[in-house]
Structure 1
Amino acid sequence: MLSAVKNDYLTQESKIEIEIQNLSKIYKTKNGSFQALENVSLYVKNEEFVSILGPSGCGKSTILRILAGLEEHTSGSVKVSGEEVRGPSRKRGMVFQSYTLFPWLTVRENIEFGLKLKGMKEKERREISDRYLELVGLEKFANSYSKELSGGMKQRVAIARALANQPEVLLMDEPFGALDAQTKQSMQKLLLDIWKKEKTTIVFITHDIDEALFLSQRIYVMEARPGRIVEEIDADLQLFKDGELVDVERFMKMKKHIISLLHH
């Protein structure tokens, strides 16, 4: 059965880290009102990797921006760690599709940027940046600038910078969408390794079905006009081992089902 049953998850030990209830978002423009989201409800457990999958324009990035506190919602409830989201917070790290690095800072200085804002001493900042440089495999590029890095390397810095602030939740908005296929696959494997080590709760936005099935424990599939969730799918089915697809038949069955949902 492809649909996950929420009650099965609630009986497990992990607490609910993110809870969205009946979320709606209406944009008012000079041409009238536009409903981007309608009655969206979802949850994410502590340390869980959940993807929100849907076509362009379905509002999946809007959900992430609301979770990040970068946009206000029109109605409904959005809670992280039991608290209503009322604005940006260091408890929620964000990684965008664009790299958003400061070009005048080195790789290390980018990673330490948030730590410096918090008033952390240089020695402690250095220890933390050393750890995350090693985690993303950029120890040799600590003193390089963004113009000297490839796209994949820039996104590694962005991930390291977000994690250095030790957020409770990492929000990722199609972070590998601009990368070539080979680099994208490498970054997906790296992200899974980081998630297993850091045990950070991750909400990942994508329109790539293969990517969602490879990375996620659960997937929320959305449709557009207005944006709403059509199905919740349990993707934690041991489809992959060491980054390689091992159950082709089951993978294709799930992919075919998701395609039918998106077409619907």
Structure 2
Amino acid sequence: MRTSRPLLLRALPAPVLLLLTACGASSAEGAKDADATDDASAKMPPIHVSQIVELLSEGENGRRTAYLQALDACQAAGLATTPLAEEDVAKVGQTRYQLWMDAQREVIRQESWDATLKGPDGTCHFQLGYDGSQETMDAKRYVQVDLATGEKVEEPSSAEAISHFAADPSEDIAPPGVSGPVRRQVAGQPCNEWTSQSVGNRQCVWSAGAPWGFTPGAQNDEYRPSRELIVLEQAPISGNGYRVTTETMTVGAAFDQESLRPERARIAAAGAKP
């Protein structure tokens, strides 16, 4: 069972890379492992996933419930009120994760929506707030873009940063306190369903990505897609916790290059910005 880690692993410092290279060159087994890693990276097909994550309280989207309660209170008090459009109400309390990954690059986009207030005190003029970021990494650079402001951070990267190691077969074994796996399909993809009474959730982890480093094992409370795991579905047993719903996932299909541009996401979100 793996612990939480950043969505994209950044390039290792040069001294560390030199040390790893020296260690690998000192033994035939190390060279063999390096070759296996190169092969895994080179053979990885294009992978795209789009998911919606919601934090539930008693089985309901907590932020959406809070908005509806606030709206009722404003209207009952006779305050000047502007409600959200119905299509915007559906987005409140949602976070969308999108991942595009192949042998040359890795892109993860995260977008969140919530109800906010604008206008003078004593009024209830609601609008849909937006926040988002996109991380892109290839063999030369790492770029993070704030999708709400357009601010950009750029750092050097390396080929090692996007290399892939095959997942350990032992990760397909249930750890203590977890039952499974139950073999299922979600969004047309195979996954291992794990149930953890201690954490209080049931999740189905993509099981066909082990050759490229995606673990098929139980993930405790980690649900965000990354270069090491994709949780295709998650539901809290008690109704309190994170729910993950996969909208679509494709393996082997060419990317729509236009959709990878962060500017495209900012344009789409323009109507939701404060």
TM-score by length of 1: 0.26
Higher RCO by CA contacts (8 Å cutoff, separation 6 or greater): 1
Q: Which structure carries more helix by proportion?
A: 1
Q: Looking at secondary structure, tell me which structure has more strand per residue.
A: 2
Larger radius of gyration: 2
